[in-house]
A and B are shown apart, each in its own frame.
Chain A
Amino acid sequence: MDTKSLELKAAEMRLATWKMIYQAKTGHTGSDLSCADILVALYHQVLKQTPETFSDPDRDRYIQSKGHAVEILYNVLADRGYFPKSDLVSYSQFNSPYIGHPTNHINGIEMNTGSLGHGLGLSVGIALAGKINHRDYHVYTLMGDGEQAEGSVWEAAMAAGNYHLDNLTAIIDHNRLQISGPTTQVMNSEPLAEKYVAFGFDVVEINGNNMSELVETLSSPNPTKKPRLILADTIKGRGISFAEGKANWHHKVPTEDEFNQGVNELELTIGGLKNE
């Protein structure tokens, strides 16, 4: 897909997610919108994986460490055909498998996440197994920037650097906001780039809401013999004007008025992209 098509897809995924959260009256709205472009880039352009090859031992793996942004993941997976879109009507309903954090009961989801600070370590294990098995798959994991306060992240980062896991790419959705406010005020984890360099990573800083930068960086080979960390500069709530850059949209559900306004904005974006 070309960049414009990917941008259109990301806008459509934002709209589907916005509607799903409004209908279910629950979801991590700002977090979903923040990383929509990253997920679309991964699932449409980067991951060597399809619904048909999901059990192939050579498939690329994606572990969503920031599991709370599950609504956008569900929509991207459904759109890619991992399960019927109609399944998502049950999101957060009684006895639904589509709950508020990823589980491996859902086709397309590798492992259960939700408690922060696990995804990088899981990815280290998967990447180590890839090295041991001489398979050339790549492991991608998406973390939040607030998540960087979890000590287990740094245990895993140390191991990734120690074992030179160049088949591992960690992405930080660096929107600088967490549930209580700015990450620099809640618990300052900066400078993240320097920290990951010190832990043995090749660090690349990009605009994480820019599709061409995402695709180019995520697709580029990693000759460094180091794990890669993509510090993806993003905007929480991206795509809906009144949610952008607002910590209180972390898991806020839109009111009816907000919902309608958000739909209008996203439909305008989609219309604009279609007309370009």
Chain B
Amino acid sequence: MSNQAKIGNVLCESLINATNNDKNIFAITSDSRGSASLAPFVEKFPDQIIEMGIAEQNSVTVASGLAHSGKRPFVFSPAAFLTMRSIEQVKVDVTYSNSNVKLIGISGGNSYSVLGATHHSLQDLAITRALPNLQVYMPADQHQARSLMAYLATSDHPAYVRIGKVALPDVYQTDDAAFDSPGKANLIKDYGNDAALISAGETLNATLEAAQNLHEQNINVKVIDLVSIKPIDSATLNVIADQVDNIITVEEHSKIGGLGSAVSEVLAPRGDTKINIIGFPDEPVIAGSQADVFKYYNMDANGIANAVKKQVEGR
């Protein structure tokens, strides 16, 4: 098995596997089958894909109608449109009506980079996790994506999954190790108790690299993969907070309302943990490749490591 994969391709393979077992599964697209890497699915199951045209709102509403009739729709659309243009449909038709709709936000975060803010989804976690009855996930590698999809294909619960565009290196060795269940985080590196770094999705690799670099400088941290942004693993977060005084969260999202906020909401009542949120500032995002933009905002491995050092050393 290759040691890196595009998550979109993995979701497509997983959807094919799930559809082999359950013909109630449907892919709903908004002229997005190409961007969503669904070509193999379309080839194998041409009758299991429903094209809604460039109409993200209606895609979500129609999916809800399908779910009401026993189907298991997976709506694939760019995360920016799926979670902003369609958010009222997500709120009313999916979460409020408790419809079994899976929302797959493709090319999330800053994936579309120089296409500009219209195509960025840097507020999607804030808005989706505030909706009652919606699970929110960010898979970090192919193993996790596969395992998560296996769960989603049989779950009756509404969920939003945000993925990116580029190939991601493996974090896990097996599918089983990557995703346990909703609301279960993974401690994936444990060098020591100087700090804990918490991330999910595409920033997990830079976070791991930062932890490795820090270890070489004798700063020993833990790395937690949150994966399930909601429900959140409060138990694991509290165990970690028992062991460390410093927590640094890393996310491809605005600093407002995302993963760092979610972690803070759990740990703030303790009053014993210093939390620093690394993410996009509350300002228009600079143009550039995703890698350059991450570096600019100190969200690459070097930037993360520097932030950790500063916090641990009390500077």
For residue A230, give the distance in angstroms from its CB to the closest CB of chain B: 20
Question: Which chain B residue has the least Cβ–Cβ distance from A111?
Answer: B97
Measured CA separation A112–B98 after assembly (Å): 9
Within 8 A of A (CB), among B59-101: 61-71, 88-89, 92-93, 96-99
CB-CB under 8 A from A126, the residues of chain B are 65-66, 68-69
Chain B: number of interface residues, binned into ranges: 20 to 34
CB atoms of A118 and B69 under 8 A apart: no
CB-CB under 8 A from B88, the residues of chain A are 115
CB-CB under 8 A from A115, the residues of chain B are 88, 92
Question: Which chain B residue has the least Cβ–Cβ distance from A130?
Answer: B69
Say yes or no: A121-B96 contact (C-beta < 8 A), given A126-B69, A129-B65, A152-B89.
Answer: no
CB atoms of B61 and A125 under 8 A apart: yes
Partner of A124, one of B53, B62, B71, B92: B62
CB-CB under 8 A from A57, the residues of chain B are 69-70
CB-CB under 8 A from A111, the residues of chain B are 64-65, 68, 93, 97, 99
The reply on A128 being an interface residue by CB < 8 A is yes
CB-CB under 8 A from B47, the residues of chain A are 132
Say yes or no: A122-B52 contact (C-beta < 8 A), given A129-B65, A129-B66.
Answer: no
For residue A124, give the distance in angstroms from its CB to the closest CB of chain B: 5
For residue B83, give the distance in angstroms from its CB to the closest CB of chain A: 16
CB atoms of A112 and B55 under 8 A apart: no
Measured CA separation A172–B80 after assembly (Å): 33
The reply on A216 being an interface residue by CB < 8 A is no
- Grouping DSSP codes into helix (H, G, I), strand (E, B) and loop, the A interface class, with mixed when no group exceeds half, is helix
CB atoms of B58 and A159 under 8 A apart: yes
Measured CA separation A112–B68 after assembly (Å): 11
CB-CB under 8 A from B71, the residues of chain A are 129, 132
Which of A113, A122, A123, A124 has most B Cβ within 10 Å?
A: A122
Say yes or no: A121-B58 contact (C-beta < 8 A), given A111-B97, A115-B88.
Answer: yes
A101-124 interface bits toward B, Cβ cutoff 8 Å, 1 = contact, 0 = none: 001100000111111001001111
For residue A267, give the distance in angstroms from its CB to the closest CB of chain B: 38
The reply on B114 being an interface residue by CB < 8 A is no
CB atoms of B92 and A156 under 8 A apart: no
Measured CA separation A231–B169 after assembly (Å): 57
CB atoms of B58 and A156 under 8 A apart: yes
CB atoms of A159 and B97 under 8 A apart: no
The reply on A87 being an interface residue by CB < 8 A is no
15 new A-B pairs (CB below 8 Å) besides A121-B64, A125-B65, A129-B71? A57-B70, A112-B96, A112-B97, A121-B62, A122-B65, A122-B93, A124-B61, A125-B62, A125-B63, A128-B62, A133-B70, A152-B57, A155-B58, A156-B61, A158-B55
Q: Which residues of A contact B (CB under 8 A)?
A: 57, 103-104, 110-115, 118, 121-130, 132-133, 151-152, 155-156, 158-159, 162
Query: Can you list 20 pairs linking A and B with CB atoms under 8 Å apart?
Result: A103-B96, A111-B65, A111-B68, A111-B99, A112-B97, A115-B92, A118-B92, A121-B65, A122-B64, A124-B58, A125-B61, A125-B62, A125-B69, A127-B65, A129-B65, A129-B66, A151-B57, A152-B58, A152-B89, A156-B61
